Chains A and B, each alone.
Chain A
């Protein structure tokens, strides 16, 4: 038996790689190793049900501990890999131990961008990525009165909704002119601004933080570039992430906005792959190299790399999709809408049931759906199979998307 596969990172991507390798019939040893002390768990609930106290750890673990024994996956939780020796195919751990690999998968994720503003070191400023941080947020939310969320992206808005649901006074501050602006069209941003406002949240866009103030070492207030000042005893910062590229960089592998991989999810070294949040890959749907932070991307790339290692090599071409839950509203996103030049609406905006179809020329590149689950699912099927849909068809409610999608045959997603 050889050295087998070593997977670095125990998030969704790392877990799924190990599970899929076994499902693919890979018989060599599998080691799944990462710095987090827990067995692999789902991250999406951390900013939703877990933060609200509705879900506990057991309900978010990806599989029970026994799964790893049953599938002969050597799970090493709580140990960090610090170095890759490509010449001898070893990884070195912080503890000094070494592990030999035949194939190495880097699923090392990303880390939060930290605030650098004056006062960023005060107590009462929290970030969310890990379970440990989620526990801090959940516990601190219980005793907080005034919560300021910095960053009007998905994580920030989901946590703002959680805090408001718990009865806190909540202010959201977004530097750009509208919410979730990197991901959605103005109409969707506006829908969510109205949603959050209607629930009693103060939403401030186009303002930046000048200083966080707390004369006694604890956060007390926040001063904005528009001259306003808001009381705060808890600040939740969701201002983006940075890919963890250092391990790859240290091994001389090319990095850009993430560890650089090709369409086979392979780095410059044919025995080393990178997947998930940490990896920059050529995306057919985006028409460019991108890096995605999502469950879909982690799970699909993991499944794909597992198939490749198990001997079924092919180019990666899964369609990106994503969701966010804010209050009782679920926004479903399919494709990559960046770079679109027109949008077409299907459904009824007044009743909050509509989808926006994003087109680049005549080509459908993305769909955002609110309370229109069939649009989302059929859109995924159509885009995955590259079945053309015209703007006219998208806008015409009498045009049957399900019928068109069924011409695709077997599901691609």
Chain B
């Protein structure tokens, strides 16, 4: 099972084995990773599952669509070059080892 590492703004590290097809957002909620709120439930209406994707993995992700790009513009912590919504990242085998960093706030 691909492993995803979540690093909180304070530097706490959580490594979670995520079934292929599960989103980085829902794996975080299921495993009690604080720092992902997911207020809208994963439909690209809020920005509360914002993550910074490690540069090594960023290019392996399918690009964000227009809706996700728009939502990133309202993130509570300003977006950076590798910002994504974790509800839009589905885990695949090629993403094994994925590292995401969480912003200090989501609202």
Per the 8 Å Cβ criterion, residues 123-171 of A in contact with B are none
Interface of A is mostly: helix
Query: B75, A377: Cβ atoms under 8 Å?
Result: no
- Is A413 positioned at the interface, with any CB of B under 8 Å from its CB? yes
- Is A111 positioned at the interface, with any CB of B under 8 Å from its CB? no
Chain A interface size range: 20 to 34
Q: A64-B29, A376-B70 are known; give 6 further A-B pairs, CB within 8 A.
A: A303-B107, A332-B45, A373-B66, A373-B69, A410-B78, A411-B75
- Is A295 positioned at the interface, with any CB of B under 8 Å from its CB? yes
Expressed in whole angstroms, the minimum distance between the Cβ of B92 and any Cβ of chain A is 19
Query: Per-residue 0/1 for A99-136: is the Cβ within 8 Å of any B Cβ (1 yes, 0 no)?
Result: 00000000000000000000000000000000000000
Residues of A within 8 Å of B43, CB to CB, are: 44, 323, 325, 330
- Is B1 positioned at the interface, with any CB of A under 8 Å from its CB? no
Interface of B is mostly: loop
- Is A360 positioned at the interface, with any CB of B under 8 Å from its CB? no
- Central interface residue in B30, B43, B47, B71, by most chain A CB within 10 Å: B43
Query: B70, A374: Cβ atoms under 8 Å?
Result: yes
Residue of B nearest to A378 (CB): B73
Q: Return the contact of B41 from the options A45, A67, A330 (Cβ within 8 A).
A: A45
Query: A64, B70: Cβ atoms under 8 Å?
Result: no
Instruction: Give the 9 A-B residue pairs with the shortest CB-CB distance, closest first.
Output: A373-B70, A373-B67, A377-B70, A374-B70, A42-B41, A299-B39, A377-B74, A413-B74, A411-B74
Expressed in whole angstroms, the minimum distance between the Cβ of B48 and any Cβ of chain A is 9
Residues of A within 8 Å of B67, CB to CB, are: 330, 373
Query: A402, B73: Cβ atoms under 8 Å?
Result: yes
Per the 8 Å Cβ criterion, residues 15-41 of A in contact with B are 16, 23
Residues of B within 8 Å of A377, CB to CB, are: 70-71, 73-74
- Is B83 positioned at the interface, with any CB of A under 8 Å from its CB? no
Residues of A within 8 Å of B11, CB to CB, are: none
Name B residues whose Cβ lies closer than 8 Å to a Cβ of A. Answer: 26, 29-30, 32, 34, 39-41, 43-47, 66-67, 69-71, 73-76, 78, 107
Per the 8 Å Cβ criterion, residues 66-98 of A in contact with B are 66-67, 70
Are A323 and B41 CB-contacts (below 8 A) given A67-B32, A374-B73? no
- Is A405 positioned at the interface, with any CB of B under 8 Å from its CB? yes
Residues of B within 8 Å of A380, CB to CB, are: 74
Expressed in whole angstroms, the minimum distance between the Cβ of B69 and any Cβ of chain A is 8
Query: A70, B32: Cβ atoms under 8 Å?
Result: yes
Expressed in whole angstroms, the minimum distance between the Cβ of B39 and any Cβ of chain A is 5
Expressed in whole angstroms, the minimum distance between the Cβ of B95 and any Cβ of chain A is 20
Query: B73, A381: Cβ atoms under 8 Å?
Result: yes
Residue of B nearest to A12 (CB): B39
Residues of B within 8 Å of A342, CB to CB, are: none
Cα separation A212 to B2 with both chains bound (whole Å) = 54
Cα separation A389 to B100 with both chains bound (whole Å) = 37
Are A323 and B32 CB-contacts (below 8 A) given A299-B39, A303-B107, A378-B73? no
Residue of A nearest to B44 (CB): A373
Query: B29, A63: Cβ atoms under 8 Å?
Result: yes
Expressed in whole angstroms, the minimum distance between the Cβ of B23 and any Cβ of chain A is 10
Residue of A nearest to B66 (CB): A373
Q: Return the contact of A373 from the options B30, B32, B41, B71 (Cβ within 8 A).
A: B71
Cα separation A148 to B34 with both chains bound (whole Å) = 44
Residues of B within 8 Å of A410, CB to CB, are: 76, 78
Cα separation A330 to B78 with both chains bound (whole Å) = 25
Expressed in whole angstroms, the minimum distance between the Cβ of A365 and any Cβ of chain B is 19
Q: Return the contact of B30 from the options A64, A303, A378 (Cβ within 8 A).
A: A64
